[in-house]
Structure 1
């Protein structure tokens, strides 16, 4: 097969990582793998692993982006792809309008992959346009069925995201030099139980809930705990980041909470943690960090909605709490700090399962 995946850019993130994983799987199976994006830091790896990258910015949310339709249609007719997989809304619009203008007998098979629980409108409905529509969780499938009831459910296929079990496994332990560096970087954490809250600094990720939970653990329960808020600061949301820091100071938690910024050692941080939290106020389409932490054998407590609810139900039902229920959250975290439960072994959400199912969809569409 000659397969083209289309997304806005390749600068890191779950969609981008999955795209590279599928690309490498295609190459390993002897297929011709292409990716079209505006480029980014992951292009070098993509090309090193045997795929062809085409630099084309179709992700800018502007009517001007539609000017690429006619040129793209000509290019597609020359390339003769067997399958196109669109993974984001704006590129999906451009690709679909170009694809629709090709002769019916010369069109590649069109796949669309629903990676998010997008705002419900005509713009987002483009992600249901594929001849097969892949959803990354049952929650994403439910989103499509509830909000776009005219979409033929027969073309929906659920392919959960997955992790590499040789990278995320229960017996993994950070190397001694990493642990020594952690102790120097976070001396206030010494002798305390570690609670980690991953997620970029945006209001939807629930850092405020985490800080208020920490205040109750420290000042009401008098527990020796230390919290890490792990995630980059959004340049457009600096006021929110400052709001969080002010709240930490106001609640007298400066010796108990640290903002780490973006990190490239999240696996080690998870493995070093006593509890990991997922407190997004809006449902996630999947919840990769929850899966990673659980696969490392760490307890995860999270709001049970969206894809996170699916993962917790499968691997760690003890960690599921109702959305923004502060009392249930406190009880669940206390239970795991005092008597931690071992998560079930992850045999479902695996990278090779995801890749096998994705290639089956590509092959079955021909």
Structure 2
């Protein structure tokens, strides 16, 4: 697969880069948007972000980025065309040198505006978008129309080229970056961990299995509850399950989860705690972190962050996890950083969780050290920033 060059971040002084993303709530695309904006400011560039807003806006502005309130989440065709006109005016007014779109609907507006104004256009494929039928594939195809198309994993790059072969030669793999200074076991004080466990209502002598993901069915919360039920039925009673993530208005799905855990006799052992602000402390408070997704993860940010925090991980064996989590048969048992199990397989998930929970402290620390080293080698924030800003420099060239 083609990798982006690992060069130092280029000098972009005086340039203006506009990123477009639907919102700035929690998520991989949103987190990356803020990270790249901060890096642009450090490189002497102006970083504009057009979005409907969200909880990450204060962080963006504190890093020196500029938030522009913009209806970027709309999927209405007429509104997308109107947005293209508004973006064209914005590009001319603000002297934007490059547009970077991170989602499909705003990418259509961004593509039209970039072509009208003659500025380079970059896209990042953050998800393994469903592609059912020609119309849906055409809609998704805007993400393959950038002058450079960034894939956040080798899996994603292969998916792009399978669905949109015309993107051959324009795709680059730039792995999602983890801030290893923030996601560092040594940087998380014991008081933060203890406060997190108290907030969850978990006793000090209980082990914690954490699923850090928004409440949506494909993230696998139901599979985890079933797996926990299997472990409890087999006599394993020393752990609690924590589901940490926004329900994002999906009250019906939350009710379904509660009903499922009650029927499994787990009502007092599964906690739905909502959005967690201090993610490093949440990961540090866990004994095992799992992401049992039922659909492919384009990258798998949670697994990378958990490994950066030195935690054993259990993930579904679909999508990009063969790049993010080392396990047999692709890696030796001695190199293992976690377990990969078939998706939607509660029994397989239960067996892997059982092995992870049974790890002796020394073995758990050794696995955690291997996981952090793996993330450090491939998935650091510094590497992602260097490669992304390197792409910007290639497209912009020297300032006239």
| TM-score normalized with structure 2 length | 0.84
Counterpart in 1 of 2:9? none
Q: Deviations over 1:129-157 (max 9, x none)?
A: 11110111112111101211232x21100
Please state how far the C-alpha of 1:159 moved relative to its aligned partner. 0.4
Please state how far the C-alpha of 1:213 moved relative to its aligned partner. 1.0
Counterpart in 2 of 1:201? 215
Give the direction of change, closer, same or farther, for the CA distance of 1:233–1:40 in structure 2 (3 Å limit). closer
Please state how far the C-alpha of 1:58 moved relative to its aligned partner. 3.0
In 2, distance between residues paired with 1:34 and 1:164? Answer: 21
When the two structures are aligned, how many residues end up with a matched partner? Answer: 359
Q: Deviations over 1:182-229 (max 9, x none)?
A: 247515x44222111221221111111111111121221333111111
Q: Which among 50, 67, 74 is matched to residue 60 of structure 1?
A: 74
In 1, distance between residues paired with 2:216 and 2:285? Answer: 24
Q: Deviations over 1:299-354 (max 9, x none)?
A: 00111211233210388454112223334322221211112541311221000100
| TM-score normalized with structure 1 length | 0.91
RMSD: 2.1
In 2, distance between residues paired with 1:258 and 1:174? Answer: 23
In 2, distance between residues paired with 1:185 and 1:198? Answer: 13
Tell me whether 1:332 sits opposite 2:352 in the alignment.
yes
Counterpart in 1 of 2:127? 116
In 2, distance between residues paired with 1:261 and 1:184? Answer: 11
Please state how far the C-alpha of 1:63 moved relative to its aligned partner. 1.9
Tell me whether 1:97 sits opposite 2:112 in the alignment.
yes
Give the direction of change, closer, same or farther, for the CA distance of 1:68–1:338 in structure 2 (3 Å limit). closer
Q: Which among 268, 276, 279 is matched to residue 255 of structure 1?
A: 268
Q: Deviations over 1:68-116 (max 9, x none)?
A: 33343244234432211111111111121222234xxxx1111111111
Q: Which among 159, 183, 190 is matched to residue 175 of structure 1?
A: 190
In 2, distance between residues paired with 1:294 and 1:71? Answer: 42
SS at match of 2:124: strand
Q: Which among 309, 327, 330 is matched to residue 296 of structure 1?
A: 309
In 2, distance between residues paired with 1:212 and 1:230? Answer: 17
SS at match of 1:204: helix
In 1, distance between residues paired with 2:38 and 2:57? Answer: 13
In 2, distance between residues paired with 1:79 and 1:180? Answer: 45
